[in-house]
């Protein structure tokens, strides 16, 4: 779900 990926957006 959402938090698995790194938050690469500003």
Partner 1 sequence: MNIFRLIGDLSHLAAIIILLLKIWKSRSCAGISGKSQILFAIVFTTRYLDLLTSFISLYNTCMKVIYIGCAYATVYLIYMKFRATYDGNHDSFRVEFLVVPVGGLAVLINHDFSFLEILWTFSIYLESVAILPQLFMISKTGEAETITTHYLFCLGLYRALYLFNWIWRFYFEGFFDMIAIVAGVVQTVLYCDFFYLYVTKDGKGYRFSI
CB of 10 to partner 1, least distance (A): 5
Give residues in contact with partner 1 (CB under 8 A). 1-3, 5-10
CB of 6 to partner 1, least distance (A): 6
CB of 4 to partner 1, least distance (A): 9
Full DSSP string of 1-10: -GGGS-----
First-to-last alpha carbon distance for the chain, in angstroms, is 19
Phi first, then psi: what are they for 5, rounded to 5°? -75, 155
């Amino acid at each position: 779900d959402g938090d698995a990926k790194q938050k690469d957006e500003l």
